[in-house]
Chains A and B, each alone.
Chain A
């Protein structure tokens, strides 16, 4: 029996860690920084154990628990947690990855003066993220949605003395808030129409057709606007590459594995609403597909290893949106029923979220390990690191292969599902997806060859705390979590054999849908069932072609990258300048149009018109009264004259109007 208290305990554990670190350890044990690391690690270990318990109790789902938060007349807001299959998977991802990242952080952040603060913020973030995936209604989702945003803001700006970090933190918060504006409006619309915030009820209303039409489309687009901001989809993706200013474990946990996936999670959670609006779900699929290829194109040319990974993350999140979207489109167009489609859509989107979380987290930790050794993130200064750090190389290779979608690693299985369904339901978007597969494999192996291949190019001396003459392997405390994640990056996709994990997600018991339509894959089906199902092999071949091209350019050097860059100069410039979107948003929109345009006009209007009138009236009063004062001469004859004149005028007026 799974008591619902467990859900609260999972959420409260990292919150306790936050309170303990900031109220006890920081003030009284400031000289024992290690304690805060141990605190969060032990809390998360327990939370992970409880999450596994939740997952294995799936026959009792949904487990729910609510409290009444505000009551005004007939208006009641209940807040609560719920566990279903989707939540259970997310709990494992969040607690598991956060635990690994915290273990790694002990090595990576060693000696940093803000050690306590770092783990306090990490606790805050993890608690919010757990709350987000546990929340059973949209308002509570919004609360934690902002909470993870705060965690992200604080951790991107962790080294706040760096102007670039401070600016990136602010940018991340404001850009995502732009999306959250839509999310908040959607919440208002939905409550106005249905009188509830409860996600399950809203989904059921949408599927029953009671909630529909323009209202639903607007609400779904509003929710998606929040998801676009959080999951860094085009056109609100610009904050994520800048967010790499934060410590690398932060990028790994927040900006690769968990928070940025929250948008995907939210769309999955409300998929019945999306799938009931043909326009909204098509919009999701298109934005997903476009973002996937668009971000990958920028990933091709970046020289900063973390930036490549950041664009890759954006691209992969686009993939997940595409996965959700493409199945949703099939539902909205009537090819699949809700019964068949919802569980399938969630499984397709979230399964990739699940595998991606592990291999992308791993890749970021690998990048951190590499920079720990070389003192830089610039790949042009690396090279040859395979010799110095064999373990890092191995795990990084596993992550890269998995991300590229090479059989039989995890990424292959989850990516395959998306490509397959895109081909079936949205053929145009399929082409975007398959080109992206090629680009992904290319840029990942460009990273591998530039970083680990060839000869060491010296790194950056005297940079930060991590500069050393000779690069060396990272300590065990960093290698161990990477190794665990590498095992997951290799093997976690195998859960799909015969349905497995995907079937689990497809159950989506929370909606009462059980008939998920599912292609059960076997391990060797790719090769043995090519006749019926050629797509997996095609995708695999495309990925291998990408790796091959990277090999010819960056390892064998048969083709010089500089030459390619020159031939495609306009494209190269466009990609490396990020399509000039940063300039458009920051220089043109924020500075020119708003700050020096509209806002400036309002300021001047305020000073010269609004306040001008106030001061003007005051001056007229002063001047006017001093003029009027002169009339009061004190001479009796002029008063007499005035009286006579007045009487005359009155008589004349009376005479005329009588």
Chain B
């Protein structure tokens, strides 16, 4: 009996949603709700880890499931993972599990909250597992609803504005993407939504409009999600006003949907891209935008005084490295981009969780009003510092492994002449990165302890458990990135 016959991907994909249904129908008490949510997300995480272990390192699509969905338009229920999507699936189930613990203290409309949180996880997993463009689009949109609810109801600050901005901005991109997907469908002969068939050439593309315009119709949606300068302003608002767990998910996995989509668009399944041949022509201009995102994001980060906003802006900078890696268009740079996606998910996810803890204890997020907390919350200080050092690319953390791989790949790229200059400029981002991270740590944790924060308390045991888990992963993949690279790299083997 092959492993596919038990539909492992579907199980992982729908476990969180099943958890949501169970909570909705059967569970009443807040405490039971939390435990149920933890249970379902934990099993999803454990199963995805099992998939990671069973995954054949030689590459290719695995755990594939295929069934007719809407036969009149040849849309399929078509799932599978390769070396690109599998790390994203694990990242999502891990962050999804952590998000439940981060949300442990939510006591307003608890049941509803966890239902949305679990549905969100299924939505994101669907994006990474779908091999059918229509299914992909469906999941891409589904994720918006829980997101909107979570921010408007459980958020803080200008939460309605931020939630609306997030949704409208994404929908704006989605409209283009849908147009792009439909054009692809009608360009493919025979008409199909199958990413695999289009990318592999099994369905021949006879474009009804220029390929480049199809490319950019879809690209724009991903560029908003990533985000790329100048389409990034939804991000600081949404991250800042969302509840902690949602910020963790946003930074940890949601942004990766954009990068993931781009890589599929450019590189497909290692066979040349869903819309092939366009990326090479536009690599130069997109890499320039990547460099701007890195430096502009870093510069803007330096000015932030709200702890959450600071981390949010740093995401713009760090995701710029991903964009650079993708459009440097070689095996090493693309592998580096995926590693950087994973790395950013862990590091920034942890940073937001830490900000949440600091806020939880002090009820303060304004950096100038904090200070000296190292004495009052030593464990939080240590873990926050490790996360910060990883974010500034200190060797032996995954932050360095990923950034260095991106730099190496991009510097050796032949995508266009002069890319080396762009890489050098992007590398300068890590100097500014050291600036904002260390300055932030100094102002929050060091200097004289303040009397008003005496006795605020440190992380409790459950909090310690999940933040240490983050730290463990950050160091594990930092010291030995092959654990991931051996899975990722074969996807891009033809890119040499």
A residues sitting closer than 8 Å to B (CB atoms) are 69-75, 139, 142-144, 146-147, 150, 153, 157, 160-163, 165-167, 169-170, 173-174, 177-178, 181, 184-185, 188-189, 191-192, 594-595, 598-600, 602-603, 606, 610-611, 614, 618
Q: Could you name 12 residue pairs across A and B whose Cβ atoms are closer than 8 Å?
A: A72-B489, A73-B489, A74-B496, A146-B395, A146-B400, A161-B449, A162-B447, A174-B438, A188-B408, A191-B411, A603-B300, A606-B300
Q: Does B428 contact A (CB under 8 A)?
A: yes
B435 touches A147 (CB 8 A): no
Q: Which chain A residues border B303 with CB–CB below 8 Å?
A: 595, 599-600, 602-603
A181 touches B428 (CB 8 A): yes
B434 touches A174 (CB 8 A): yes
Q: Is the interface of B mostly helix, strand, loop or mixed?
A: helix
A71 touches B299 (CB 8 A): no
Q: Which chain A residues border B302 with CB–CB below 8 Å?
A: 594-595, 599
Q: Which chain B residues border A73 with CB–CB below 8 Å?
A: 331-332, 489, 492-493, 496
Please count how many residues in chain B sit with their CB below 8 Å of the partner chain's CB atoms: 58
Least CB distance, A50 to chain B, in whole angstroms: 23
Among A170, A181, A603, the residue within 8 A (CB) of B442 is: A170
> In whole angstroms, what is the CA distance A147 to B394 when docked?
8
Least CB distance, B433 to chain A, in whole angstroms: 9
B431 touches A71 (CB 8 A): no
> In whole angstroms, what is the CA distance A177 to B439 when docked?
14
B485 touches A70 (CB 8 A): yes
A72 touches B331 (CB 8 A): yes
B493 touches A166 (CB 8 A): no
> A157-B446, A185-B424 in contact; A173/B489 too (CB < 8 A)?
no
Least CB distance, B17 to chain A, in whole angstroms: 32
Least CB distance, B367 to chain A, in whole angstroms: 14
Q: Nearest B residue to A604 by beta-carbon distance? A: B303
Q: Which chain A residues border B374 with CB–CB below 8 Å?
A: 160-161
Q: Which chain B residues border A614 with CB–CB below 8 Å?
A: 165, 169, 233-234
> In whole angstroms, what is the CA distance A70 to B492 when docked?
15
Q: Which chain A residues border B233 with CB–CB below 8 Å?
A: 606, 610-611, 614
Q: Does B296 contact A (CB under 8 A)?
A: yes
Q: Does B181 contact A (CB under 8 A)?
A: no
> In whole angstroms, what is the CA distance A203 to B422 when docked?
28
B485 touches A150 (CB 8 A): no
Q: Which chain B residues border A143 with CB–CB below 8 Å?
A: 395-396, 400
B412 touches A181 (CB 8 A): no
The digit string for B423-434, where 1 denotes a CB below 8 A from any CB of A, is: 110011011001
Least CB distance, B300 to chain A, in whole angstroms: 5
Least CB distance, B48 to chain A, in whole angstroms: 24
Q: Which chain A residues border B412 with CB–CB below 8 Å?
A: 191-192
> In whole angstroms, what is the CA distance A598 to B302 when docked?
11
Least CB distance, A427 to chain B, in whole angstroms: 37
A173 touches B299 (CB 8 A): no
A599 touches B442 (CB 8 A): no
Q: Known contacts A72-B489, A147-B395, A595-B303; can you find 9 more A-B pairs with CB under 8 A?
A: A71-B489, A73-B489, A74-B496, A146-B400, A157-B446, A161-B447, A167-B442, A191-B408, A618-B168
> In whole angstroms, what is the CA distance A48 to B263 when docked?
51
> In whole angstroms, what is the CA distance A411 to B371 when docked?
45
Least CB distance, A355 to chain B, in whole angstroms: 31
Q: Does B389 contact A (CB under 8 A)?
A: yes
> A150-B389, A192-B412 in contact; A72/B431 too (CB < 8 A)?
no
> In whole angstroms, what is the CA distance A41 to B481 when docked?
33
Q: Which chain A residues border B372 with CB–CB below 8 Å?
A: 161
Residues B296-336 near A (CB distance < 8 A): 296, 299-300, 302-303, 331-332, 335
Least CB distance, B84 to chain A, in whole angstroms: 14
Q: Which chain A residues border B448 with CB–CB below 8 Å?
A: 161, 163
Q: Does B482 contact A (CB under 8 A)?
A: yes
A142 touches B434 (CB 8 A): no
Q: Which chain B residues border A150 with CB–CB below 8 Å?
A: 389, 394
Least CB distance, B102 to chain A, in whole angstroms: 25
> In whole angstroms, what is the CA distance A166 to B443 when docked?
9
B420 touches A192 (CB 8 A): yes
Q: Which chain B residues border A72 with CB–CB below 8 Å?
A: 331-332, 335, 405, 485, 489
The digit string for B188-200, where 1 denotes a CB below 8 A from any CB of A, is: 0000000000000
Q: Which chain A residues border B489 with CB–CB below 8 Å?
A: 71-73
Q: Which chain A residues border B435 with CB–CB below 8 Å?
A: 174
Q: Does B101 contact A (CB under 8 A)?
A: no
A602 touches B299 (CB 8 A): yes
> In whole angstroms, what is the CA distance A610 to B332 when docked?
33
Q: Nearest B residue to A69 by beta-carbon distance? A: B482
> In whole angstroms, what is the CA distance A598 to B295 when docked?
11
Residues B365-401 near A (CB distance < 8 A): 372, 374-375, 389, 394-396, 400-401
Q: Which chain A residues border B234 with CB–CB below 8 Å?
A: 614
Q: Which chain A residues border B482 with CB–CB below 8 Å?
A: 69-71
Q: Nearest B residue to A163 by beta-carbon distance? A: B447
Residues B446-473 near A (CB distance < 8 A): 446-449
> In whole angstroms, what is the CA distance A150 to B396 when docked?
12
Q: Does B352 contact A (CB under 8 A)?
A: no
Among A70, A139, A146, A594, the residue within 8 A (CB) of B481 is: A70
Q: Does B42 contact A (CB under 8 A)?
A: no
> In whole angstroms, what is the CA distance A184 to B395 when docked?
12
Q: Nearest A residue to B168 by beta-carbon distance? A: A618
Q: Nearest A residue to B164 by beta-carbon distance? A: A618
B394 touches A146 (CB 8 A): yes
A161 touches B428 (CB 8 A): no
Among B230, B299, B396, B445, the residue within 8 A (CB) of A147 is: B396
Q: Which chain B residues border A142 with CB–CB below 8 Å?
A: 395
Among B299, B438, B449, the residue within 8 A (CB) of A598 is: B299
For A69, A74, A153, A614, the residue with the greatest tally of chain B CB atoms inside 10 Å of its CB is A614
Q: Does B289 contact A (CB under 8 A)?
A: no
Residues B106-130 near A (CB distance < 8 A): none
> In whole angstroms, what is the CA distance A70 to B303 when docked?
37
A599 touches B411 (CB 8 A): no
Q: Does B136 contact A (CB under 8 A)?
A: no
Q: Does B486 contact A (CB under 8 A)?
A: yes
Q: Nearest B residue to A603 by beta-carbon distance? A: B303
Q: Does B407 contact A (CB under 8 A)?
A: yes
> In whole angstroms, what is the CA distance A170 to B440 when docked?
10
Least CB distance, B289 to chain A, in whole angstroms: 13
> In whole angstroms, what is the CA distance A451 to B408 when docked?
53
> In whole angstroms, what is the CA distance A153 to B385 when docked?
12
Among A71, A169, A188, the residue within 8 A (CB) of B423 is: A188
Q: Nearest B residue to A610 by beta-carbon distance? A: B230
B300 touches A188 (CB 8 A): no
> A146-B394, A147-B396, A166-B447 in contact; A173/B332 too (CB < 8 A)?
no
Q: Nearest B residue to A176 by beta-carbon distance? A: B434
Among A161, A174, A610, the residue within 8 A (CB) of B446 is: A161
> A174-B434, A594-B302 in contact; A181/B446 too (CB < 8 A)?
no
Q: Nearest B residue to A184 by beta-carbon distance? A: B427
> In whole angstroms, what is the CA distance A9 to B296 when docked?
45
> In whole angstroms, what is the CA distance A174 to B389 when docked?
12
Q: Which chain A residues border B428 with CB–CB below 8 Å?
A: 181
A192 touches B411 (CB 8 A): yes
Q: Nearest B residue to A143 by beta-carbon distance? A: B395
Least CB distance, A175 to chain B, in whole angstroms: 10
Least CB distance, A185 to chain B, in whole angstroms: 6
Least CB distance, A605 to chain B, in whole angstroms: 9
Q: Nearest B residue to A181 by beta-carbon distance? A: B431
> In whole angstroms, what is the CA distance A272 to B428 when docked?
28
A599 touches B447 (CB 8 A): no
Q: Which chain B residues border A167 with CB–CB below 8 Å?
A: 442
Q: Which chain B residues border A181 with CB–CB below 8 Å?
A: 427-428, 430-431
Q: Which chain A residues border B411 with CB–CB below 8 Å?
A: 188-189, 191-192
> In whole angstroms, what is the CA distance A192 to B408 when docked?
8
> In whole angstroms, what is the CA distance A144 to B400 when docked?
12
Q: Nearest A residue to B440 by beta-carbon distance? A: A170
> In whole angstroms, what is the CA distance A603 to B428 when docked?
19
The digit string for B148-162, where 1 denotes a CB below 8 A from any CB of A, is: 000000000000000
